[in-house]
């Protein structure tokens, strides 16, 4: 059994927590795992895709994000995540590649995000959409085993999570989603993250 087979089995056993919308909009994000063929030398191991949003976007400009967005009419979270994956980074995937879903994460900006873990087929050439993506990062799964930092802010009694990745601190919601994913993928642990706070700049 390889690492991704083990991850798929862990996701099959994962008892995910769904969150009510309560006036928020539903969104799906893709934790898209490549097999390494898209790495610079074509020989990398499994890695996930992380983006930095384009600086001129109307919402959450220049923030780190997973490919994703709100649901269009008739879509579920899987549909939206797979569609946005193609629109943002040029990756193609279908429902047969979906390994599972993680917990919903309600955001301060009015969304309930459902993370969709999907395995990409081999040999894809990723082409970021410059209107939406300033930078595309390939993060080996092993590199997710970083120690998160939890800080306090006067605006909330909830801890703000920060993950040191790609030479920066990645914040929630992306940091919260990736932290839950890393706990499950690397350690087989179920760690709830919906209580983890976003920085104030991400509230809008």
* pTM of the predicted protein model: 0.93
pLDDT one-digit tens code per residue, 51-93:
999 888 777 788 999 999 999 999 999 999 999 999 999 999 9
Establish if 118 belongs to a structural domain.
yes
Selected residue with higher pLDDT from 44 and 53? 53
What pLDDT shows up at residue 45?
A: 77
Q: Are strands 156-165 and 149-153 parallel, antiparallel or unpaired?
A: antiparallel
Establish if 116 belongs to a structural domain.
yes
What pLDDT shows up at residue 2?
A: 67
Establish if 189 belongs to a structural domain.
no
Q: What band does 43 get if pLDDT is binned at 50, 70 and 90?
A: low
pLDDT one-digit tens code per residue, 6-29:
899 999 999 999 999 999 999 999
Query: At how many degrees (to 10) do helices 3-13 and 174-187 cross?
Result: 110
What pLDDT shows up at residue 125?
A: 87
- Which residue(s) pair with 172 in the sheet? none
Q: What band does 170 get if pLDDT is binned at 50, 70 and 90?
A: very high
Q: What band does 1 get if pLDDT is binned at 50, 70 and 90?
A: very low
Asked whether residue 195 carries a pLDDT value surpassing 50, the answer given is: yes
Sign for the pseudo-dihedral over CA of 171, 144, 191, 52: positive
pLDDT one-digit tens code per residue, 110-149:
999 999 999 998 888 899 999 999 999 999 999 999 999 9
Q: What band does 103 get if pLDDT is binned at 50, 70 and 90?
A: very high
Decide if 28 contacts 78 (C-beta within 8 A): yes
Q: Which token pair is 201? A: 């700049």
Establish if 198 belongs to a structural domain.
no
DSSP for residue 154: T
Decide if 38 contacts 138 (C-beta within 8 A): yes
Residues 6+ away with beta carbon under 8 Å from 51: 64, 65, 66, 67, 88, 89, 128, 132, 133, 134, 135, 136, 137
CATH code, domain with 59: 3.90.79.10
DSSP for residue 58: S
Q: What band does 44 get if pLDDT is binned at 50, 70 and 90?
A: low
What pLDDT shows up at residue 96?
A: 95
Establish if 174 belongs to a structural domain.
no
What pLDDT shows up at residue 75?
A: 97
Selected residue with higher pLDDT from 160 and 40? 160
CA 136/CA 131 separation, integer angstroms: 13
**pLDDT (mean) for 148-163:** 97
Number of structural domains (the chain) is 1
Determine the length of the chain: 204
Establish if 108 belongs to a structural domain.
yes
Establish if 114 belongs to a structural domain.
yes
Q: Which token pair is 61? A: 């400009």
Q: Which domain holds residue 9?
A: 3-143
Establish if 45 belongs to a structural domain.
yes
């Amino acid at each position: 059994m390889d690492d991704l087979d083990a991850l798929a089995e862990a996701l099959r056993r994962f008892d995910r927590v769904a969150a009510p919308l309560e006036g928020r909009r539903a969104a799906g994000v893709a934790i898209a795992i490549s097999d390494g063929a898209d790495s610079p030398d074509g020989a990398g191991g499994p890695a996930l895709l992380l983006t930095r949003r384009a600086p001129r976007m109307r919402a959450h400009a220049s923030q780190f994000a997973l490919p994703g967005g709100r649901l269009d009419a008739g879509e579920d979270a899987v549909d939206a995540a797979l569609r946005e994956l193609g629109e943002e980074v040029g990756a193609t995937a279908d429902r047969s590649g979906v390994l599972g879903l993680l917990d919903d994460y309600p955001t301060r900006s009015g969304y309930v995000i459902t993370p969709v873990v999907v395995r990409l087929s081999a040999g894809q050439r990723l082409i970021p959409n410059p209107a939406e993506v300033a930078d595309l990062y390939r993060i080996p799964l092993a590199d997710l085993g970083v120690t998160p930092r939890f800080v306090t802010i006067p605006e909330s009694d909830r801890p703000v999570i920060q993950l040191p990745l790609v030479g920066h601190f990645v914040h929630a919601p992306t940091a919260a989603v990736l932290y839950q994913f890393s706990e499950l993928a690397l350690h087989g642990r179920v760690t709830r993250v919906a209580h983890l706070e976003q920085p104030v700049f991400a509230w809008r």
